Amino acid sequence: MAGVVVKAHFKRRRMVKVVAANLFRHLVQGSSRSWVRNIGSTAPALGSMTLLLVMAGLVGLTGFALYNLDRVETAQASVLQVYLRDNATPDEIAALRDLLTRDPRVASITYTTKAQALQRAQTMPGLPQLAGATDSNPFPASFSVKLKSIDDVGAIDAIVRSDVAVDPAYPTSYDQGAYQRIQAVLFGVAVAGISFLTLLGFVAVMVTVNSIKAAIIARRDEIAIMQLVGAPRWMVRGPFVMEGAITGAMAGAIAGVVTFGLAATAIQAGSQGFTQFAPGVTVVVAAVAAALVFVTGLFLGSGSSMLGMRRHMES
């Protein structure tokens, strides 16, 4: 027997190249092969994670649109439209303007003539037909009164609606409680979206944890030997985190493409109409959302793997 094993001295190559090659083989190649080998047990995790990420992407885009909508609504809600009688005299209109200008709660006033109102209506979806349906101009002249505080809209409305220059049939745009109703609806939509995503996220994490458990069970002998010979913990866990990251990245990539595709299609199909309902959502925003979906998938996959291992691999 060549009894030289224990006493022999071997050269230690501490070169970065060797470490990098070993890391690549152990973490990247090893986990990729294992991922392919365990695709059957990984498929449910991949599916549920992809579904979650697509939903997250779409809910995220919807949330972004709602946020923009809220900002627009808030800005619009502090602007009171005061509609003038068609036969109001210039003096009556000037008196009303003076009244509003002197009020300290008013930030600014803009006057829109009947002709300007008609011109604006012709640029809005659906209104050109209405504008062209009659020979006369049905749109009234108006004051756009921007208030310093949204809370003062009701008080200003009460002052102007009895003025002689104001149209008695439809005096202002003020709708008591409309802004609060929009806020309540937006809040409800946000809560529902977050709850749905949380539930879906929980399911995706649990399914991924289970798929990692299956991978751990499939390789339990290898893991046991690694632990017994003294492999560092990161060496034992690394390939599983990588496997989870691969699953997450795959799910993220698929979901990112789907999210971008759906958003881009909707943007194109909706054209002007769409931008009215989803303000701020552009192709660039959709691309950013897709990238975020991919990164989320990466973290979700590796995070779920770490969670699965913490429970099943402690010595």
Residues of the shown chain interacting with another protein in the complex, contacts defined by CB under 8 A: 1-8, 10-15, 18-19, 21-23, 26, 221-222, 224-233, 235-236, 314-315
Give 118 or 236: the residue with its C-beta nearer to another protein: 236
CB of 216 to another protein, least distance (A): 15
Judged on CB neighbours under 10 Å (0-12, 13-18, 19+), 165 is buried
Rounded to a whole number of angstroms, the CA Rg of the chain reads 32
Cα 179 to Cα 152, 174, 186, 192, 193, distances in angstroms: 13, 10, 11, 20, 21
CB of 230 to another protein, least distance (A): 3
Give 186 or 226: the residue with its C-beta nearer to another protein: 226
Instruction: Tell me what percent of the chain is helix, strand and coil, each rounded to the nearest 5.
Output: 70, 5, 20
Give 133 or 229: the residue with its C-beta nearer to another protein: 229
Give 1 or 269: the residue with its C-beta nearer to another protein: 1
CB of 228 to another protein, least distance (A): 5
Give 73 or 222: the residue with its C-beta nearer to another protein: 222
Give 25 or 148: the residue with its C-beta nearer to another protein: 25
Give 226 or 287: the residue with its C-beta nearer to another protein: 226
Strands of 142-147's sheet, edge to edge?
79-83, 142-147, 106-112
Give 200 or 242: the residue with its C-beta nearer to another protein: 242
Give 37 or 146: the residue with its C-beta nearer to another protein: 37
CB of 26 to another protein, least distance (A): 8
Cα 50 to Cα 37, 242, 289, distances in angstroms: 20, 17, 14
CB of 221 to another protein, least distance (A): 6
Q: Rounded to an integer, what distance in angstroms lies between the CA atom of residue 142 and that of residue 112?
A: 5
CB of 30 to another protein, least distance (A): 10
- Token pair, residue 1, equals 């027997």
CB of 2 to another protein, least distance (A): 5
* Beta pairing partners, 143: 82, 111
Q: Rounded to an integer, what distance in angstroms lies between the CA atom of residue 78 and that of residue 84?
A: 19
Q: Rounded to an integer, what distance in angstroms lies between the CA atom of residue 41 and that of residue 213?
A: 9
> What is the 3-state secondary structure of 207-271?
HHHHHHHHHHHHCHHHHHHHHHHCCCHHHHHHHHHHHHHHHHHHHHHHHHHHHHHHHHHHHHHHH
Q: Rounded to an integer, what distance in angstroms lies between the CA atom of residue 84 and that of residue 110?
A: 13
Q: Which one-letter amino acid corresponds to residue 265?
A: T
CB of 18 to another protein, least distance (A): 4
Q: Rounded to an integer, what distance in angstroms lies between the CA atom of residue 28 and that of residue 239?
A: 7
The neighbour count for residue 242, using CB atoms within 10 Å, is 23
CB of 217 to another protein, least distance (A): 15
